[in-house]
Amino acid sequence: MPSPSSPPAPASHSAGYPLPAPDLKPSDRELPPSPSSTSHLTARLGMHPLTRLTIANLFAFASVFLTTATKTAHTSSLQFRAENAHRLPKSQRDWYFYHRSRSYYASQSAFSQGFRRAMGMCGYVSLFLMVENGVDVARGSVDFGGTMVGGGVTGAFFGVVRKLPLSTTMVTVKKGLWYGFLYGVLQDVMLAAEGNRVFWIEPFVGRTRQVIRQRRGKEIIDEEEKRGSLQENGS
């Protein structure tokens, strides 16, 4: 007879009935992986989309800012000279203040105009890359299709922002599609050169790639046979 202080004996399941399954919460159950987590897209230009977006924006900002600031500084300097041509300085002190005012006016105009246009270009570049990546994720493949759509959307957005006529906006859309097609084809060729599969390049290089793999496999087999024969001769 067990003592009162001893714990109760566990119930025996001699009949072999299975224990009831514990009630699992929805968070504890094993959920199937989402398609976005399982799908692996080939990185364009060998870079993550955020890395590519950052580098492209830095390059766009630097190039547009430098070119715009240089041109605006020269134009503003000529404009200041033309506006003050009727009251040119007469003394050395007046010429000093004249050149200082002209340099200040040119640098201020160059910075403001260059910064404004550089930020606008960064907006267009960001829109293009985000649309391109969004189309790639939606389609589940990386090819020139996403680049074409990105170029067309960017061209249409440029026409709307600049308030261009419909005919001119259509021209910008066509140019965006054309340049997007060329840039996308160039990226596809680079991906194929790295060994990735591109649907429209694979029929041309698939057979060549298969022959190269067969030759490499044959070379590996021949090397293994030579090593085996050398080991047998050495023993």
Question: Does position 59 have pLDDT exceeding 70, yes or no?
Answer: yes
Of 75, 90, 121, the one marking the end of a domain is 121
Question: Does position 231 have pLDDT exceeding 70, yes or no?
Answer: yes
C-beta of residue 151 within 8 angstroms of C-beta of residue 179: yes
Residue type, 50: L
Question: Does position 36 have pLDDT exceeding 50, yes or no?
Answer: no
Least confident of 101-110, 175-184, 195-204: 195-204
Please report which confidence band the pLDDT of residue 229 belongs to, taking 50, 70 and 90 as the band edges.
Answer: confident
Question: Does position 114 have pLDDT exceeding 70, yes or no?
Answer: yes
Q: Which pLDDT belongs to residue 234?
A: 66
**Is 150 domain-assigned?**
yes
Distance (Å, whole) CA 183 – CA 161: 24
**Is 81 domain-assigned?**
yes
Assess whether 156 and 113 both reside in one domain.
Answer: no
Question: Does position 15 have pLDDT exceeding 50, yes or no?
Answer: no
Q: Which pLDDT belongs to residue 217?
A: 75
**Is 92 domain-assigned?**
yes
State the DSSP string of 129-193.
Answer: HHHHHHHHHHHT--SHHHHHHHHHHHHHHHHHHTT--HHHHHHHHHHHHHHHHHHHHHHHHHHHH
**Is 134 domain-assigned?**
no
**Is 23 domain-assigned?**
no
Q: What angle do CA 94, 100, 101 make, to 5 degrees?
A: 90
Which has more pLDDT, 168 or 41?
168
Q: Which pLDDT belongs to residue 14?
A: 47
**Is 151 domain-assigned?**
yes
Q: Which pLDDT belongs to residue 56?
A: 97
Domain range for residue 152?
Answer: 142-196
**Is 72 domain-assigned?**
yes
Distance (Å, whole) CA 62 – CA 45: 21
Assess whether 169 and 104 both reside in one domain.
Answer: no
Assess whether 49 and 116 both reside in one domain.
Answer: yes
Mean pLDDT over 48-56 rounds to 95
Question: Does position 129 have pLDDT exceeding 80, yes or no?
Answer: yes
For residue 195, the 8-state DSSP code is T
Count the domains in the chain.
Answer: 2
Assess whether 174 and 107 both reside in one domain.
Answer: no
Of 196, 214, 230, the one marking the end of a domain is 196
**Is 3 domain-assigned?**
no
Distance (Å, whole) CA 196 – CA 41: 11
